[in-house]
Amino acid sequence: MALPTLRLATARHRALTRRWVRSHRRTLSAAVWLTLAGFGATAFGVAPMAPDAALLPKRVVSEFVRPEPLQPQLDVLAEGSMRLYRSETTRASDTADSLLMRLNVADPAAAAFLRSDPTARHLLGGRTGKMVTVQTDERGALTELVARYAAERDDQVNTHFMRLTVRRDGTGWRTQLESAPMAVQPRIGSGTIRTSLFAATDEAGLPDRIASALAEVFATDLDFHRQLHKGDGFSVMYETWTADGQAITWSTGATARVLAAQFVHDGQTYSALWYPDAAGTGSYYSFDGVSKKRAFLTSPLEFSRVTSGFAMRMHPILNRWKEHKGVDYGAPAGTPIRTVGGGVVDFAGWQNGYGNVVEVRHSPQRTTLYAHLSRIDVRRGERVEQGQRLGAVGSTGWATGPHLHFELKLAGIQQDPSTLALAAEANVLPAPAKASLTALADRLRGPLTMPARNAPPGDAVE
Residues 317 and 404 in one domain: yes
Q: Residue 123: inside a domain, yes or no?
A: yes
Q: Residue 255: inside a domain, yes or no?
A: yes
**49 vs 288, more confident:** 288
In angstroms, rounded to a whole number, what is the distance separating the alpha carbons of residues 250 and 129? 6
The two beta strands, 160-169 and 172-181, are: antiparallel
In angstroms, rounded to a whole number, what is the distance separating the alpha carbons of residues 239 and 269? 22
Enumerate the H helices of 204-263 as residue ranges: 208-217
Residues 171 and 252 in one domain: no
Query: Residue 392: is it exposed, middle or buried by C-beta count within 10 angstroms (0-12/13-18/19+)?
Result: buried
In angstroms, rounded to a whole number, what is the distance separating the alpha carbons of residues 286 and 55? 70
Q: How confident is the model at residue 14 (pLDDT cuts 50, 70, 90)?
A: low
**What CATH number is given to the structural domain containing 271?**
3.10.450.350
Domain coverage including residue 173? 82-181
Across 348-377, b (16+ Cβ under 10 Å) vs e yields beebeebbbbbbbebeeebbbbbbbbbebb
Residues 205 and 142 in one domain: no
**32 vs 442, more confident:** 442
Q: Residue 50: inside a domain, yes or no?
A: no
Is pLDDT at 366 greater than 80 in this prediction?
yes
Q: Tell me the pLDDT tens digit for each residue of 339-352.
A: 988 899 999 999 98
Cβ-contact 191, 234 below 8 angstroms: yes
Residues 269 and 316 in one domain: no
Q: Three-class SS string for 313-365?
A: EECCCCCCEEECCCEEEECCCCCEEECCCCEEEEEEEECHHHCEEEEEECCCC
Q: Residue 328: inside a domain, yes or no?
A: yes
pLDDT at position 453: 42
Q: Residue 9: inside a domain, yes or no?
A: no
213: amino acid identity, one letter:
A
Which among 181, 207, 236 is the end of a domain? 181
pTM over 0.75: no
Q: Residue 25: inside a domain, yes or no?
A: no
pLDDT at position 369: 92
Residues 89 and 176 in one domain: yes
Residues 228 and 260 in one domain: yes
Contacts of 351 (CB under 8 A, 6+ apart): 357, 371, 397
Q: Tell me the pLDDT tens digit for each residue of 75-101.
A: 776 666 678 899 999 999 999 999 999
Q: How many domains does the chain have?
A: 3
Which among 181, 210, 226 is the end of a domain? 181
pLDDT at position 159: 85
Residues 153 and 196 in one domain: no
- Say whether 290 sits in a helix, a strand or coil: strand
pLDDT at position 16: 56
Is pLDDT at 139 greater than 60 in this prediction?
yes
pLDDT at position 1: 44
* Weakest mean pLDDT among 4-8, 119-123, 291-295: 4-8
- Cα 367 to chain centroid distance, Å, stands at 40
* Weakest mean pLDDT among 50-59, 270-279, 352-361, 385-394: 50-59
Percentage of the chain modeled with pLDDT above 90: 30
pLDDT at position 54: 65
Q: Residue 53: inside a domain, yes or no?
A: no
Residues 407 and 449 in one domain: no
Taken in order 335, 340, 345, 348, the sign of the CA dihedral is negative
**What CATH number is given to the structural domain containing 347?**
2.70.70.10
Of the ranges 162-166, 203-207, 272-276, 395-399, the best mean pLDDT one: 162-166
Residues 386 and 453 in one domain: no
Residues 448 and 354 in one domain: no
Which among 181, 201, 236 is the end of a domain? 181
Q: What is the mean pLDDT of the chain?
A: 79
Residues 213 and 201 in one domain: yes
Is pLDDT at 223 greater than 80 in this prediction?
no
Residues 200 and 165 in one domain: no
pLDDT at position 51: 59
